[in-house]
A and B are shown apart, each in its own frame.
Chain A
Amino acid sequence: MSHIRLLNVTKRFGDVTAVNGLNLEIEKGECFSMLGPSGCGKTTTLRMVAGFEDLSEGEIHVGERLISSRSKNWYLPPEKRDFGMVFQAFAVWPHMSVYENVAFPLRVRRLPAAEIERRVKDALSSTNLLAVSKESPENLSGGGKQRVALARALAINPDVMLLDEPLSSLDPHLREEMRFEIRDLQRKYGFSIIYVTHDQAEAMALSDRILVMNLGVVQQIDTPLNVYNHPVNRFVFSFIGLSNFLSVVRDGDGFRLRGGERLPEGLKPTQQDKVVGESGERISLASRPSEIDFCNEENCLRGVVSRKSFLGEIVDYQIKIGDQEMRVQKSRRAPGPNVDETCSLRLLRPFWYTEI
């Protein structure tokens, strides 16, 4: 049986449904990310697991324990759940030393002094904080503070770790470094992670599985590679990278651009795309700017370069196709057309979605 189970979890704030009928199973030792734009319900879900929000419907189990249930009116308070949690704004206590911050969860559990000392030392050494254990966390950098928060969460050796955008207050370089540290800590202690983020690269790099969420509704749950290879809908596609959408309509056997010319012969949905395109129905042809080649063949999309910018590693093109626009990004060494020139484009990985 899975370690963490959410059954039909729903949360309403007044008229707004923040999370709608969420079913989820997370394995022991798994790193599970919840990804979505702000306000999509990912943080609310995490807070329901933590116990800071109660449920409007459904129930949550962890291991053998039922921790929240609407129908049974059962609600285990956060302090009884024995989870570790790290917040975006660090939330380390400035009036206590680093050592005391980490010792706090052990002290409230009234563990023997020697045990506390051993566990705090262990958590501090895992996070490379032994040298600053006597300092106030106020004197540490953002990364240092977040390490204190991690060590504090580790101290009780929890089997579930809840991470609420823990890296978004850090600068990009540090963010990357901490990402790997979290992964290493997980390997060492073996806890399950529920990780909330709006940064798709972070979720991809860290997780075993990803949940993409929008407006309180699950869009896709899968491994990072599968989410990248097969985004199930237009929203998921647009959320996990730069994207182009061309609006097209069915025209007999093939397709043509909205109010424009026919698409090249081979460019049409496969069975996998699950999009038929009834006559007259508008559908989106999706592509990524980096997954488009310039070509010389006849059987290609044709457009005119309206803007070309040198951005260092890449060159960024804006191409006018009929009355629609597309971005193309090529490595700086790849040859490409100039502004106002006509060009042909080949989509390397086209996706087809019904328009929203």
Chain B
Amino acid sequence: MNTVVQKSRFGVAQIILFLSISILVVVVAVPVLLILFNAFWVNGKFNLNDVIRIISEPDTWQALMNSLIIAAGTTVGSTIVGTFFAWLVTRTDLPYKGFMKGMFLVPFMLPSFIGAMAWKMLLSPRAGFINKFFMTYFGLSGPVFNIYSYAGIILVEIMYLFPFVFIQVCGALERMDPTLEESARISGAGLFTITRKITIPLVLPSILSGALLIMLYSMAHFGTVAVLGIENGIFNIPTLIYQRIHQSAGSFSSIRTGTVLATILVLTAAFILWLQGKILSRGHYQIIAGKSFRPMELKLRTLRMPLFIFCIAYIGFTIVLPTVVIFLVGGLKTYGLPFTWENLSLENYKFILFKYKVTRDAIWNSVTLGLSAAVITMFAGVMISYVIVKMKVRGKGILEFLGMLPFSVPGSVIALGVILAWSGKYGVNLYNTVWIILVAYIARYMAFSLRANSAALEQVHDSLMEAARVCGASMWQTLKDIVLPLVRPGMLASFFLIFLPSLRELTVSIMLYAPTTRTIGVAIYTLNEDGETVVSAALAGIALIIIVTGQLLVERFLGKKAHR
């Protein structure tokens, strides 16, 4: 519906549209275009042979394959784990299902590279606590499990990524009309037949869509592979880009390799998103419940306790254990000492919070960067979403296309793109300043803001605005009195969706930091790489506390708002 009646050619609508397009072009489109340009053009000439040469180099080819292997393993594993747990907490009589559901969502909050660090402490072949324990007390000659391996990387990624599938499938199962299953039951089918023939096929689109999200995330994932892979020379695309650029301090050939790899990432991401859209639109059955009854519960009977213990063990092993290890190691005087009371103290925590300049700077940088990026992206996002969702002006199609871009550009690609765009080649040199990280954060988190704000704006039905117009309100008055107050929850949500993750951001910052512009994530990672394990663990502990408290506050605060 056309909600804006235009009088002149350059009205308010055109100004807003122009601004929106400009933001997306500068922040997202230009970096991506520069990557594509640099990948395919050498000295101003199109050169495909060079691209093929780079891809066929053993290192790059291996990195590509590794990305695929890790992503495939992670996707399959997470899908199985996520679907299984979702089914367990929505369709069975497992005890304490509500608590379990909450716990299975915790990994969403935890930064996976911190988890990877914890698992390195637990399972590194020689020094890992678990491996050492078994070697000492059971006389094993070698490690129980070597975390520096494909299997190790995949398992750690599964632990942190399965909630993507879990939450999608839980949602689908909860919304599903229970009579779809009841009618199968009255038809004579037992519960396992129903699960196999009715339930799983009906939620398959949700399962696949979650799986593809994980695939997309894992392909472009930096942290886990960086922490666990480099020891044994396992690189994937993002870690290889980082290594090349880091080692050669931004030489031309390393940037070219980076752009080619980044191009592959962008194309893969676009393909995955296209596939996801297709699955969601084609296979999305109308299975939403009309009348609500409690869905059937499968009585687990003899399996009830074993499965309950299994879930508790899973939660303890994958969530509690790594977190505890991080905090304990953060309390040690020196890494390698046993966990006894005399070896543990809060000294490291005091040190990083009050004395150590590197970590204090990092915390300050992350907080200010996060706040600024969140505020800017929130406002830009609400404006762009408004144009896309509510306005009908010529040229909106361009904006809709540009608005899709942030969703399909992985973090390491954005980082590389801003290096190309803001290193002085085009007049502005932000390299080695905190500003280049800010620009990259805005680009990286624009997708979050667009999603939250569009969702909020979709809720504001056109008639609410039209009602204001007939009451005598101008377009600006309508925006001020009706639209903005109504999308405020969406804006707040987008603010926190950006601010909290930015506190633990690593993929982008690691490519862009300078000695004085480390963020929390960079500081944890580099300190760990430099062997400062205990300080790094202490900082990780602090980061976990900030993130979890923030998340809980948000849920409290926004959860209440939503009920109004």
Give the contacting residue for B285; candidates A50, A84, A138, A156; CB below 8 A.
A138
Q: Mark B460-489, 1 if CB is under 8 A from A, else 0.
A: 000000000000000000000000000000
Question: Is A94 an interface residue when CB atoms closer than 8 A count as contact?
Answer: yes
The answer to whether B202 and A87 touch across the interface, beta carbons within 8 angstroms, is no
B287 contacts the other chain (Cβ, under 8 Å)?
yes
Whether a CB of chain B sits under 8 angstroms from the CB of A95 is yes
| Nearest CB in chain B to that of A44: its residue | B293
- Output the least CB separation between A154 and chain B (Å): 11
Q: Are A93 and B180 neighbours in the complex by a CB distance under 8 Å?
A: yes
Q: How far is the CA of A92 from the CA of B296 in the complex (A)?
A: 17
Q: A83 in the interface, Cβ–Cβ < 8 Å?
A: yes
Q: Which residues of B167-215 are within 8 A (CB) of A? A: 177, 179-180, 182-190, 193, 197-198, 201-202, 204
Cβ of A149 to closest chain B Cβ, rounded Å: 7
- Contact status A108-B187, CB under 8 Å: yes
Which among A81, A89, A93, A95 is the interface contact of B186 at CB below 8 angstroms? A81
The contact of A94 among B185, B197, B202, B293, by CB within 8 Å, is B202
- In the bound assembly, the distance between CA atoms of A138 and B293 in angstroms comes to 23
Q: Does B289 contact A (CB under 8 A)?
A: yes
Q: How far is the CB of B51 from chain A (nearest CB, A)?
A: 43
CB distance from B316 to the nearest CB of A (A): 34
Contacts of A78 in B (CB 8 A): 182, 185-186
Contacts A94-B286, A104-B189, A105-B188; A149 near B291 (Cβ below 8 A): no
Interface residue total, chain A, C-beta cutoff 8 A: 32
A79 within 8 A of B: yes
Given A88-B290, A88-B291, A169-B290, is A95 in contact with B185 using a C-beta cutoff of 8 Å? no
Roughly how many angstroms separate A255 CA and B82 CA in the complex, as a whole number? 73
Instruction: Report if A152-B179 is in contact (Cβ < 8 Å); known contacts: A88-B290, A89-B291, A95-B285.
Output: no
Residue of A whose beta carbon sits closest to that of B191: A79
A80 to B189, CA, bound (A): 9
Query: Chain B: which residue is nearest A100 at the CB level?
Result: B197
A138 to B287, CA, bound (A): 10
Asked if A108 and B193 make an inter-chain contact with CB atoms under 8 angstroms apart, the answer reads yes
Contact with B along A235-268 (1 / 0, CB 8 A): 0000000000000000000000000000000000
Tell yes or no: A85 within 8 A of B by CB.
yes
Task: Give the Cβ gap from B419 to chain A, nearest Cβ, in Å.
Answer: 48
Interface centre among A52, A82, A138, A169, by most chain B C-beta atoms within 10 angstroms, is: A52
Measured between beta carbons, the chain B residues less than 8 angstroms from A92 are 183
Partner of A108, one of B179, B182, B189, B291: B189
Bitwise, B148-179 to A at CB < 8 A (1) or not (0) is 00000000000000000000000000000101
A188, CB-defined interface residue at 8 Å: no
The answer to whether B185 touches A87, judged by C-beta atoms less than 8 angstroms apart, is no
Interfacial chain A residues near B187, Cβ < 8 Å: 79, 104-105, 108, 152, 156
| A319 vs chain B, min Cβ distance (A) | 38
A binding-site residues for B, Cβ under 8 Å: 47, 50-52, 77-85, 87-89, 91-95, 104-105, 108-109, 138, 149, 152-153, 156, 162, 169
In the complex, besides A81-B186, A105-B188, A105-B189, 9 extra interface pairs with C-beta distance below 8 angstroms are A52-B185, A78-B185, A79-B188, A83-B186, A85-B186, A94-B286, A95-B202, A95-B204, A104-B189
